[in-house]
Structures are given as C-alpha cells and as structure tokens.
C-alpha cells in the first residue's frame, strides 16, 4: 500500500478530482488533503476540507485530512490539541533552527515534521535532533513537488536538503510526499523510489517511505484519537450478560433442568460441609466410650445367659419348695 500524505486542497474541485484520479491510476491507496496555515492560529479551528468530499472519489482510494502549520514562533503551540482534533494528521513546518528543535524534541501532539526542501536553510540538520523525533514516533517528511515544477534553484535546494536529511536520519523514519497542487506534479511510487536513490536513500528505504512509514503515521494518529493511555478497546471484561444474570437469579434454589424437560432433585442449595478432622484427645475419648459400651453389652449378655440355664432353673425350684 502506497500513501501520499500531502496533496494540497483547493476549492477548485474539478482540478482536485483530476489530481485524485491520477494518483489512483499511479497506484496510490491513500491520500491526505492538506490545508496550510501560514500565520497564527485563527479563532475558528474548523477544517475547511469537507467530509465527505463533494465529488465521487476514485474507488479504493482512501481520503484523509491534514493540517500543515508553519511554525515561526516557539510560543505558538498552546492550541495544538484543539487543532489536531479537527484533522486526521497534523504536520509542523518549522522555519528556524529553534522551532525545528522544539518540534522534534517536545512538541505534541504532532505526526510529521515537514520541511520545505525548496528553500535554503541557514543551518545544518543535526542527527541528534532528527533521531530524537523519530524515536518518539514523529516522522520526517520530504516533499518533492516544488522541485519538479519549480525553478533550477529550487531543484538544487531539494537535492541538497533531501541528501542532508537522509544522512542525518540514516534513512529511518523518512516519509516522502508530493505536495502537489495539480496532477502534473505527481509521480508514481516507483519513480519516487528512483528519485530518492539519487538522494542516498536505498530502494528498500524508499519503498518504506511511501508504504510502511506513511501507513504507520496514519495508524498512530488514529490510535491516539481512539485510545486512552494505551488501551485501544475493551473486548470482554468477564462480566455476564444481563439476561443470563436474571435467569440465574430466578432459578436459584431449584433443581437443574435436564434435556428431557425433567428436574433433578437437589438439596436446598446448601452443600454439606466437610467434617473437620478430629484431634487426638477427641479420638481417645471416643475410643474409651466405645470400649465401655462394648464391655457393658458383654456383661449384659453374660447375665442373661446364666439366668436362662437349666441348673439355674432347678435351683430356683428348690428355693421355692
């Protein structure tokens, strides 16, 4: 699956429809329509991109929304959470080294750090700063659209900046997008991979920049909005359904119903408690009591036997005479 996470949104729906259709023919599966904010955040943060879009999108093409905020003041970040809630993706475009460090190290919640590669920056891209952004889940975006339709100077700046970014990030955590405003600035996925090879990005890393890395940005953004502290969803909490609970309460204390419709007799719901083991003293008392009962029984039987013998009966008759 290939994604283009930066397609400029325009109110000219005919041109936008043509661009989306061309991207679908090139083999892209997902496209993010981007709205750019160049100044301070407005009072109304509602997305101007209609959802769903007012025309028929190509079949199989997923349409996302994105906001690209140009950050020139480090204090311009107190409403980013409200802004991110209105878009699928939130990208920050820093214009100075200080805002780049802030975006890579501490700014949240953001999904992409998008650098305008068509201009020349008065500073170098530091490996420690960019790798810190990649480690915390923020991806570095390279946009090639301005270098294709722009001037010769813009093409030189694109090659120079992209080479520095690939060197600083070692090719990890890089996302490549078009930033196309019309279909003429779009390129196919494999053409982009060949273009990135000229920047020092290997073919495998180039395919990941359009596929796995871009898809990971979308999934992470959706997970952040639908989950809470790492919990995505509770599938089963172990509780019983309400109907089953009511059925158990009604049938409590009664016999079980067998398959043939008969009820099996049971006790009143109370199980016999297991007898506690006897102590040695109790065992001796019971043994002594049983011995005494046995001795009394033997003595009684012996007395009855003597009284009933013939000699005893004869002695009794003599005494009577």
Q: What percent of the chain has pLDDT over 70?
A: 78
Task: Answer yes or no: is pLDDT of 72 > 50.
Answer: yes
Question: For strand 263-264 and strand 256-257, is the pairing parallel, antiparallel, or unpaired?
Answer: antiparallel
In this prediction, residues 9-36 reach a mean pLDDT of: 93
Arithmetic mean of pLDDT over the chain: 82
Res 302 pLDDT > 80? no
Please state, in angstroms and as integers, the Cα–Cα distance from residue 44 to each residue in 54, 73, 83, 228, 290, following that order: 22, 20, 9, 26, 96
Q: How many CB atoms lie within 10 A of CB 241?
A: 8
Place of tokens 């283009």: 4
Q: State the SS3 of the chain.
A: CCEEEEEECCCCHHHHHHHHHHHHHHCCCEEEEEEEECCCCCCCCCCCCCCCCCCCCCCCCEEEEEEEEEECCCCCCCCHHHHHCCCCEEEEEECCHHHHHHHHHCCCCCCEEEECCCCCCCCCCCHHHHHHHHHCCCEEEEECHHHHHCCHHHHHHHHHHHHHHHHHHCCCCEEEECCECCHHHCCCHHHHHHHHHCCCCCHHHHHHHHCHHHHHHHHHHHHHHHCECCECCCCCCCCCCHHHHHHHHHCCCCCEECCCCCEECCCCCCCCCCCCCCCHHHHHHHHHHHHHHHHHHHHHHHHHHHHCCHHHHHHHHHHHC
pLDDT digits (tens, 9 = 90+) for 115-157: 999 999 999 999 999 999 999 999 999 999 988 888 889 999 9
Q: Which residue has the higher pLDDT, 306 or 283?
A: 283
pLDDT at 240 (0 to 100): 64
What tokens appear for 166 in the block?
A: 């690939």
Terminal CA-to-CA distance of the chain, rounded, Å?
Answer: 130
pLDDT band at residue 243 using 50, 70 and 90 as cut-offs: low
At residue 166 the predicted structure's pLDDT band, cuts being 50, 70 and 90, is: very high
pLDDT of residue 204: 93
pTM, rounded to two decimals: 0.69
For residue 250, the Cα-to-chain-centroid distance in whole angstroms is: 40
The answer to whether residue 11 scores a pLDDT higher than 50 is yes
175 to 77, 169, 279, 296: CA distances (angstroms):
23, 11, 78, 102
Residue pLDDT, tens place only, 185-221? 999 999 999 999 999 999 999 999 999 999 999 999 9
What is the pLDDT at residue 272? 47
Exposure b/e, 261-288, CB count within 10 A at least 16 = b? eeeeeeeeeeeeeeeeeeeeeeeeeeee
- d(C-alpha 173, C-alpha 134), whole Å: 6
């Amino acid at each position: 699956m290939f994604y283009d996470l930066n397609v400029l949104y325009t109110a000219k729906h005919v041109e936008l429809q043509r661009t989306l259709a061309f991207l679908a023919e090139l083999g892209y599966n997902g496209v993010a329509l981007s709205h750019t904010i160049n100044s301070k955040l407005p009072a109304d943060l509602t997305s101007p991109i209609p959802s769903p879009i007012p025309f028929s999108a190509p079949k199989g093409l997923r349409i996302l929304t994105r906001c690209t905020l140009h950050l020139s003041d480090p204090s311009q970040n107190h409403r980013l959470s409200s802004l991110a809630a209105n878009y699928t993706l939130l990208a920050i475009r820093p214009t100075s080294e200080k805002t780049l460090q802030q975006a890579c190290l501490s700014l949240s919640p953001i999904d992409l750090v998008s650098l305008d590669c068509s201009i020349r920056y008065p500073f170098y891209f530091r490996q420690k700063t960019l790798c810190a952004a990649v480690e915390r889940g923020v991806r570095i975006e390279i946009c090639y659209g301005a270098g294709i339709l722009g001037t010769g100077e813009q093409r030189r700046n694109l090659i120079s900046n992209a080479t520095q970014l690939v060197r600083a990030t070692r090719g990890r955590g890089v996302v490549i997008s078009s930033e196309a405003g019309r279909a003429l600035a779009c390129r196919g996925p494999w053409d982009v991979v060949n273009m990135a090879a000229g920047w020092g990005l290997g073919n495998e890393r180039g395919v990941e920049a359009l596929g796995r890395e871009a898809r990971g940005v979308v999934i992470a953004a959706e997970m952040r909005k639908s989950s809470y502290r790492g919990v995505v969803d509770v599938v089963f909490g172990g509780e019983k359904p309400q109907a089953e609970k009511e059925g158990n309460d009604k049938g409590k204390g009664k016999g079980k119903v067998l398959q043939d419709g008969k009820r099996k007799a049971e006790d009143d719901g109370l199980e016999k408690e297991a007898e506690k083991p006897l102590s040695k003293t109790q065992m001796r008392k019971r043994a002594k009591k049983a011995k005494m009962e046995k001795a009394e029984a033997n003595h009684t039987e012996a007395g009855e036997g003597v009284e009933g013998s013939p000699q005893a009966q004869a002695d009794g008759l003599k005494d009577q005479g």
